[in-house]
């Protein structure tokens, strides 16, 4: 599969996830009810036992708005999982630096960055033989680096590293910035 075809497929997947977030719960609920009916199971959400908290002096006596069991499941589980999938997808689907050569990297940016940031080009461990830049331990580490330093982190496989480093240096000489399109923080 060519890189440009892969990018289009990834864009389609992201679009699907975003649409699924809006309409997927109702569609899934209908399908789950059909499956439950076929199995002879009553298709209902079990109500949680209400826990009454003893109010302390000075606390308001108004009760919080309670959600139905289905709405609670939608908000606390379904939307949470779909949002995690979308967020993870956006973070982990890295661009190709040079589609003609299948040159690949994964780009991590901190959230809410407002200034120019340093760039870290990360070569994963593994003795040139084990895992890849897309492996979960390295993915988690790069997300943490980007968030805590803060910095732009470019995670590469060994065979792509030199070319990505050259591209970053070239971009810095030409534009004064190593940011790839769409990654520059606001105001730069």
Does 55 fall in a domain?
A: no
Residue 1: predicted pLDDT: 42
Same domain assignment for residues 38 and 75 = yes
- DSSP per-residue codes, 40-99: T----PPPPPP-PPPPPTT---PPPPPPPHHHHHIIIIIHHHHHHHHHHHHHH-PPEEEG
Same domain assignment for residues 30 and 107 = no
Same domain assignment for residues 7 and 88 = yes
Same domain assignment for residues 103 and 163 = yes
| pTM given for the model | 0.44
Does 77 fall in a domain?
A: yes
Same domain assignment for residues 81 and 18 = yes
Same domain assignment for residues 41 and 107 = no
Q: Whole domain around residue 150: which residue ranges?
A: 96-175
Residue 187: predicted pLDDT: 38
Same domain assignment for residues 21 and 35 = yes
Same domain assignment for residues 35 and 70 = yes
What distances in angstroms separate CA 102 from CA 116, 125, 172, one per listed residue?
Answer: 29, 21, 22
Q: Which mean pLDDT values do the consecutive 10-residue runs of the chain (188 residues) have?
A: 63 86 90 92 77 67 67 86 76 56 75 74 72 79 88 81 77 55 42
Does 70 fall in a domain?
A: yes
Same domain assignment for residues 32 and 71 = yes
Residue 52: predicted pLDDT: 63
Pair 163, 103: CB distance under 8 Å: yes
Residue 128: predicted pLDDT: 54
């Amino acid at each position: 599969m060519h890189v440009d075809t892969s990018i289009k497929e990834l864009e389609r997947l992201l679009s699907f996830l975003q649409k699924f977030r809006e309409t997927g719960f109702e569609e899934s609920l209908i399908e789950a009810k059909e499956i439950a009916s076929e199995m002879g199971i009553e298709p209902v959400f079990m109500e949680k036992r209400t826990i009454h908290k003893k109010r302390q002096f000075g606390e308001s006596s108004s009760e919080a708005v309670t959600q139905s069991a289905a709405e609670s499941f939608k908000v606390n589980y379904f939307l949470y999982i779909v949002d995690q999938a979308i967020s993870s997808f956006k973070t982990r689907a890295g661009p190709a630096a040079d589609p003609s050569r299948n040159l690949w990297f994964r780009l991590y940016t901190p959230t809410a960055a407002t200034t120019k940031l340093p760039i870290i080009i990360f070569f994963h461990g593994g003795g040139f033989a084990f895992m890849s830049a897309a492996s979960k331990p390295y993915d988690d580490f790069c997300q943490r680096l980007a968030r805590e330093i803060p910095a732009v982190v470019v995670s590469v496989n060994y065979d792509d590293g030199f070319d990505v480093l050259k591209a970053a240096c070239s971009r810095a000489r030409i534009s004064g910035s190593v940011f790839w399109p769409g990654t520059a923080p606001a105001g730069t």
